[in-house]
Structure 1
Amino acid sequence: MIYQPYYTISFSVSACNFEILVNDIPVVTMETKGQISANIPINYAIYKSGKQFVTANIKPLAGTENLHPDASLKFNVRLYDVANNDFKRINDFEEVKLPQVEENQKVLFLTQETEFIAEIPYSLINWNNGENLKDVDDIKEKVIQAYNNLANLLKEEKYAEFAEKISVREKNMATSMYLTNSESKARINSLIDDAKNGFDVMPLPKSIFKFYGYGKLVTLKKLNGEPAFYLYNKETKEELMIDQMLYMPKGKTELEII
């Protein structure tokens, strides 16, 4: 019998800037002044069976120093079986809720950790086998160069080379999400089609370096937490954000997208 376990995080959040990480991989980062709820896939952050670690962080809204009294976040991991294009709910893991801030409390930051056991039938190209990037002296220069190289491939319409650059990331995504070859190719083709039809690569904005994956991954983020690498369509005023994680395989000296 085919079994395709599909793990998600269901969350409800309000009045804060928040981030949820699985195995120190960010699976959702955003700010909301109101309240939102969603259920997002997390398989791509699970690279082996066994114990998985989840961390949730909430911070004040932009322009404020302390958490709002209405700030809240609760979440739980869910397991589905998606074999045969079905979406069968198998299990709900225990719900986690961050403590509520009192009206007069001055709280800068709240965090909560939990864990769950996952069993997966696939293996991914593992970032955990990479170098510790915090030990790389010129890591910031290497990150900027990697971003510029990727941007230039789109600007120069070298789409085949662009697809090759992101191939490891796409292979991991296709494997963990049980995508067919055609579905995987469609993901890449959709991005390339956007680049061909009005979406231009934008210069890197003022950004911050963020290390993830216990120091094995690095990325650039805008000050609001959004990916620093993005495309913009001047006619439709739409942005297309492309979140790129970089790692350095053992024994190599250049960063690669994963």
Structure 2
Amino acid sequence: MRQRVITAVVALILFIPLIVIGQMPLQVVMAMLGGIAVYELFRMKGLEIKSTEGILAIIGAVVLILPRSTWYDFLPKSVNGNTLFYLIVMALLVLPVFLKNALTFDNIGFPVLVSLYVGTGFQNFISARETGLHVLMYALLIVWSTDIGAYMIGRKYGKRKLAPDISPNKTIEGSLGGIACAMVISLVYTLIWPLTYNVVAMLLLAIVFSIVGQLGDLVESSYKRYYGVKDSGNILPGHGGILDRFDSLLFVFPLMHLVGLF
């Protein structure tokens, strides 16, 4: 626990100024974190990241993450991150031709899905910050309050298992506690800093975001259990890897974009 707290404090000291500054420094760091997340997924599956498909998967995630306005503005207007990403997909699809079927269509599916999953999540993280710091902070606080509420309530009152085959320590009571905490945070936050919709709508959305964030956590837990690893990585002492910290956010941010918050 002491190690977790120390890591969290240090991470916040570095992270908060970064999201306040935003722009290119944040974009570069998010691209780096995206690359690490891709590496962690390859590592969990036991694949070599230095392979052609591993390098292309990292490039695919990065081109999705970096905004066109900052990094690709010199290209024709018809070209954006999605266009560049599909070029990466095409390159992956061509690989079996040159590798004499050492890779199959099924093998190519993994790096494509990994780069899409990671790249889209971090892409929307940056988009939220470009819309405004208050939008980004809202999403972060919803996810963080859900995690803290689920942990605290679950630890004290948790009895019924939420998903015992995937994450044995999570409970239904903890999950509901996380949702309740997210609703409280949403109510207080939107009364002070109004967002796109009214307070009632934001409360309902907070419930959805909290549930989706918990699903994102469970999705990553299912990967780890399937591949037989405890953490996605060890870059954050006491917390695991980048995916262990961003799994909920990778689900919540795209959904926030879909409902029009940025």
TM-score by length of 2: 0.30
Bigger share in helix:
2
Bigger share in strand:
1
Q: Which has the higher contact order (CA 8 A, sep 6+)?
A: 2
TM-score by length of 1: 0.31
